[in-house]
Chain A
Amino acid sequence: MSGKKEKQMLEIKGLHASVEGTEILKGLDLEVGKGEVHAIMGPNGSGKSTLANVLAGREEYQVDSGTVKYNGLDLLELAADERACEGIFMAFQYPVSIPGISNAYFLRSALNALRRYRDESEIDAVDFLDLVRSKMELVGMDQKLLQRAVNDGFSGGEKKRNEILQMAVLEPKLAILDETDSGLDIDALRVVAEGVNVLRREDRTFIIVTHYQRLLDYIVPDRVHVLSGGRIVRSGDKDLALELEKEGYSWLEADDAKAGSGA
């Protein structure tokens, strides 16, 4: 199928990764096509966040072996900021604050870093303000947050919405949402999900890392993968998420045991 190759955006093969000497990912394989929305689910400690952070290039996460191809590039060769410039965006589970730096300044610096990387001219303050205002409307965010310091004193919901705003402005090719739903009440969850939905495009890929199914009520995935023990143990369509919601994750251990004894 030559068409499939054309559509391929991310190809992970045999990925082993560790944090502080403990192996977390143990031979993970995953393929994600352009414009698709994939959900990565799994119990706590299964390696979901590790996968997100490895893809984003966080230094504390050591890749021991395996390959990651992203749009034909060897992703593991790139530094975190280069990956961002190549269109990878991670919405953080715990966005950090940067006291004294306004959200607007931060976001313009980020956008201009990306533009410089692409040999485009930098955006000036006036054009930027127009752009960011339209994006704020798009994701339903209060304009007042623009002049406040980055995530400083933001509520949990505001922080997550700020991540979505950044995504809207930076227009990534691959967006990774690392447990963006955690700690959100149902209204905030809906706002975040709606923000993601308006940003869905056929040339934008999403990887949604989540523990719970409820986010997937609003963002309907093309594929759902279950991560357990550092590997993808099951993949399916959106119904798999519903099944997990009903059954929980305990069957995984039973499956593991079965796989162990059956081998």
Chain B
Amino acid sequence: MSEKDDLKELADREYEFGFVTDVESDSLPPGLDETTIQEISRLKCEPEWLLEFRLKAYRHWITMTDPSWAKVKRNTIDYQQIIYYSAPKAKKSIDSLDEVDPELLETFEKLGISLDEQKRLSGVAVDAVFDSVSVVTTFSDKLADLGIIFGSFSDAVNKHPELVRKYLGSVVPYTDNFFAALNAAVFSDGSFCYIPAGVQCPMELSTYFRINAAGTGQFERTLIVAEERSTVSYLEGCTAPMRDENQLHAAVVELVALEEATIKYSTIQNWYPGDSEGVGGIYNFVTKRGMCKGDRSKISWTQVETGSAVTWKYPSCVLLGDESVGEFYSVALTNNMQQADTGTKMVHIGKRTTSTIISKGISAGRGQNTYRGLVDVKKGAVGARNFSQCDSMLLGDRCGAHTFPYIEVRNPTAKVEHEATTSKIGEDQIFYCNQRGISTEDAVSMIVNGFCKEVFSELPMEFAVEAQKLLAVSLEGSVG
């Protein structure tokens, strides 16, 4: 009896961000053709060159086929059923927080994202993206004093077209893959961030993505450019309501680090994962790539992936500059029917480039977790070094962990190391905790957190705490 109650409580608590906000929105009808794209471009008052970019991408996309090589099972996506543009109705253009629909502010408040600059003590600037558009960006004035541009992509297109035009598609061309092409054709908004030479961005920059409207896809595009000797730390978070259908999220993120610049990009991904039987949930098919263009530049990806029905992404680094550094720290957790096929690509081109890959996969329930990674050392990459460590932890005996490391080395002076382990969470460890008074659920959460520590320690402080809590919530009910 009590066990039933416990289970029910767990089921109810499964996904706490599953609510829907009741706002009026302007949406295009479902379906995709050149008119849809022209309409998106018109709604966003875009310049001609951007419409051209979109159309080229679309014409390329229709020649491509939906890829199926990932180790995931999923439904076929009907691209004509998706709504490609949905925006909360705005009375007029928004200049300050007071003019934002209170309903929207409340939504972000509920999600734990306070957009009220006055009340915010923590040094985090937030760009909030709701369905297809950015609703507000905090602290942008303060950042502007330093020459930092941080705001919505649409804004940047209008205010800094030369920068956007120079870098858009320079790291992830629209020909890259099926979803990158789709995104290039229909992307609606996202964040743009530019750090001028020599500037150390004084606060965390953060974008919060929220899918709200039913039947919509989210196709945001993020572009971060760090000029010479600048540094920036950026974080994205995301949630979505609980719905029975699978919603597509196909984002593109491009990072450009010039000489001696450092970009740290952290993701806490908590899209709706579907219910315990695998109904609904987000298809999270994202292309993320950073270009270490300048010598001694550094790009570091940290991701905590706990949501989505299917996650399919490989945040990568192209190490072009000599002595540039790429890092990838990942925690991917799959519970119930969730599936993840994730990892990274480290492409060593410059001399003495180094990369580090730390991947922690946790599988619970009937979850399937795949690490797929490529370390590609090109001919000219003299003295390149890579260290990869992929650890998998299994909770229960119905889940799976898979590791596919690909290593291609064309320079004999390169040093590549790969370590992999798979462990089952130990009954001994759980009993040890129990014997000290710690409940099984808390014990599992503690042991898993310990397993992920190397990755969490890479997250900005306040988000590390959030990530730990998120992990605990995502694990609920995973141990009988």
Contacts and interface: CB of A to CB of B under 8 A. Distances in A.
Nearest to B454: A100
Given A81-B439, A113-B437, A117-B437, A58 B449 contact: no
A263 to B, nearest CB: 40
Interface in B421-480: 426-429, 431-440, 442, 446-447, 449-454
Chain A interface category by residue count: 20 to 34
A106 B434 contact: no
Interface stretch (A33-41, A91-99, A120-128, A247-255): A91-99
Interface in A59-95: 59-60, 79-81, 83-85, 89-90, 92, 95
List the 8 closest pairs (A to B, CB-CB), nearest first.
A100-B450, A100-B453, A110-B436, A80-B434, A101-B450, A84-B437, A113-B437, A81-B434
Given A58-B431, A59-B431, A80-B431, A166 B450 contact: no
A75 B325 CA distance: 58
Given A98-B447, A100-B449, A109 B432 contact: no
B297 to A, nearest CB: 30
Given A98-B429, A98-B432, A110 B438 contact: yes
A56 interface: yes
Given A60-B427, A81-B440, A98 B450 contact: yes
B449 to A, nearest CB: 7
A60 B428 CA distance: 10
B432 A92 contact: yes
A166 B437 contact: no
Interface of A: 56-60, 79-81, 83-85, 89-90, 92, 95-96, 98-101, 106-107, 109-110, 113-114, 117, 149, 166, 170
A260 to B, nearest CB: 37
5 contacts: A84-B434, A98-B450, A100-B454, A110-B437, A114-B437
A106 B446 CA distance: 8
Nearest to B428: A96
A100 B426 CA distance: 15
B338 to A, nearest CB: 23
Counting chain B CB atoms within 10 Å of each CB, the highest count among A57, A100, A106 belongs to A100
A96 B428 CA distance: 7
B451 A95 contact: no
Nearest to A149: B450
A107 B435 CA distance: 12
A187 B447 CA distance: 33
A200 to B, nearest CB: 21
Nearest to A86: B437
Nearest to A115: B437
A96 B426 CA distance: 9
